[in-house]
Amino acid sequence: MQLKKRVYTLFDLLRIPFATAPLPMSFLAASSLARSAVPSLQVLAVAAFIDTALGVVGGTAALSAVYPRAAAVAALVGFSWISDQINRFAITRVRLRLYAGLRSACIEKRTRLMARHIENPDTWDLISRVCEKPEEKIGEGTNEWFGLVSTLLTVAGLLAILFTRIWWAAIAVVGVSVPLLMLSVRAGRAGYDAEKETARMKRKTRYLATVLKDRDNVEERSVFGYTDHMDDRWHEEYEHARKTELKVNARWFVRMKGGGLLVALLSVVIAGILLPPVVNGTLSLGLYFAIVNAVFGLVQSISWTLVNQTKQLSKSREYFRDLTEFVALEETPDAVEPPGPAPVFSTLEFRTVSFAYPGTERLILDGLSFSAEAGRHYALVGINGAGKTTVTKLLTGLYPEYDGEILLNGRELRTYTEPERKAFFSVVFQDFARYGIPLKDNIAVGSAHRAGDERLSEVLRDAGLDQTAQALSQGWETPLGKIRKEGQDLSGGEWQRVAMARAMANPAPVRILDEPTAALDPISESRIYEEYGRMSAGKTTFFISHRLGSAALADEILVIDGGRLAERGTHPALMAQNGLYAK
């Protein structure tokens, strides 16, 4: 399933599920039509049963005449019960299909989004609203859509019965109900607006809940004892969101149910007006019950069922507006395509590159210029915020909105396709991923072309992980982390080596280490950089760090300050200059 760029409407509550689960949806459609006739038929069947039963008591009808009418009532009740059970099964099937289709479609769309949307809080709230349990939001809307059609047909049948017996009562019920339905539409819109308003609060509560229960935080929870403080913050955010939604829902509930009470009072008045004809004998008791049942059925359908269905569909309409906005977000072309074959790298040049993150005015890079040649090791150093990581983000194509030129092999970086650009770079980020999968697969994900076991074994040895693999219960097939029962965790240093091995498995000619060792002490960091430099012989490597110890291992050091190249040279040369690097 793929979410296409178009305008989504309430009709997609049928279109999407029918495309995902055609057979269960066809049954639900047929069942809804059949069930909509049951209330009207029940009113007539019960009326006929009562009149016949009274006739038997009065001696005007034979006892045998009661049986078929009683059987008709029982058959209608049985049909309602059986179809309800089968409907639940069909709805479950639809939900499961929607779960698989919609969640994968949302994930695929998110992987194609441009980085500026991911890092924008407002856009992220939109993504959260659309992609959080989409199968429930569309599934519930589909149920309400079928329910609305069924309810409207039921109301039409009951109104027809009422109109043929007492026409003015049918008109009165409709006249009172129309404003009630208009209120329900506004209530649904207000309810969804309240959910949008509280989206950021809910996101905070989810994060705080992770801090309170995630295993990665257990040591700091024990050492610092922040559980009560975080729990208070979680409760504060949760209560704020809950009260905001409750206030809106309660206000509209009172308004709608006030209108529903008016409809109920009208039905009581109609029932009272019809009593004299029953006493006078001009209206049979069975027909009286038929009319009263029709009136009360209308009250139930209009003031409760129909109002709630209209309210939910109004919320669904607002959801589809968000979905339309979500699918319209700009994507990175070919973002999910794997890298192409490893190209030959010769030169890289930044020419007066300036860049500010979207939504901000401060230039992170301000006329940065430098060049790099194949086969050399470079260190990008500078204080935090100097723009070092931003260089990585531009090289990897996350942000194409820069001024100036970035020339890769003499060609502007933005003219490369995504697979072509990916093929040039292998990156180890500071916050590298720790996958809860076997050690072998943890390394293999770095190779888009799936390196064979022989190559992975070589990488494992080069990264110094061969002894680590031997110590694991199932060797390199052992799942890492604690997600699985047989899983085993690694030390921080071992995880660092796994991340670097992942980068080494990638045949890209340019390797970038963006402060992946920031959590280590300087001696351990220097040792890992030294080993990585040795293992990257013949490759072009960029070491990014705000520490200077590892910079001494590079062939050339680029000192970035204020988004510009402040100094350049070897470690001894820069120390001799006694400039920014030396200080």
Q: Which CATH homologous superfamily contains domain 12-327?
A: ABC transporter type 1, transmembrane domain (1.20.1560.10)
Which pLDDT belongs to residue 415? 92
The answer to whether domain 337-424+508-583 and domain 429-505 are alike in fold is yes
Which of 534, 459, 510, 514 is closest to 339 using CA atoms? 510
Q: Tokens for 278?
A: 């029953």
Residues constituting the chain: 583
Which pLDDT belongs to residue 28? 87
Which of 112, 123, 138, 250 is closest to 199 using CA atoms? 123
Q: What long-range pairs does 445-453 form, CB within 8 A, spacing at least 24? A: 445/502, 446/501, 446/502, 446/503, 446/504, 446/505, 446/506, 447/505, 447/506, 447/507, 448/338, 448/339, 448/422, 448/506, 449/338, 449/339, 449/341, 449/507, 451/505
Which of 186, 156, 188 is closest to 174 using CA atoms? 156
Which of 137, 132, 131 is closest to 17 using CA atoms? 137
Q: Which CATH homologous superfamily contains domain 429-505?
A: P-loop containing nucleotide triphosphate hydrolases (3.40.50.300)
* Contact status, residue 305 vs residue 175, Cβ threshold 8 Å: no
Please count the other Cβ atoms lying within 10 Å of the Cβ belonging to residue 391: 26
Which pLDDT belongs to residue 451? 66
Q: Domain coordinates of the chain in residue numbers?
A: 12-327, 337-424+508-583, 429-505
Residue 292 CA to chain centroid, in angstroms? Answer: 48
Q: Is 452 helix (H, G, I), strand (E, B) or coil?
A: coil
251, 255, 258, 262: CA torsion to nearest 10:
-170
| CA distance between the termini of the chain | 57
Tell me how many degrees the CA angle 158-164-166 measures, rounded to the nearest 5: 90
Which pLDDT belongs to residue 482? 73
Which pLDDT belongs to residue 7? 92
Which pLDDT belongs to residue 370? 93
* Blockwise average pLDDT, block size 10, the chain, 583 residues: 86 90 89 81 79 78 82 87 85 89 89 82 83 87 83 76 72 70 66 67 74 67 70 79 74 62 71 76 73 71 70 82 91 80 91 90 91 90 84 89 93 91 87 84 75 80 83 84 76 81 86 71 65 73 74 84 90 86 77
- What pTM value is reported for the model? 0.69
Say how far apart CA 62 and CA 52 lie, in whole Å: 8
Number of H-type helices and E-type strands within the chain:
22, 10
Q: At what angle do helices 307-327 and 12-20 cross, to 10 degrees?
A: 70
Q: Is 400 helix (H, G, I), strand (E, B) or coil?
A: coil
- The answer regarding whether domain 337-424+508-583 maps to CATH 3.40.50.1110 reads no
Say how far apart CA 348 and CA 396 lie, in whole Å: 13
Which pLDDT belongs to residue 45? 82
Count Cα neighbours of 75 within 13 Å in the Cβ-side half-sphere.
Answer: 8
Handedness of CA 103, 104, 105, 110 (dihedral sign): positive
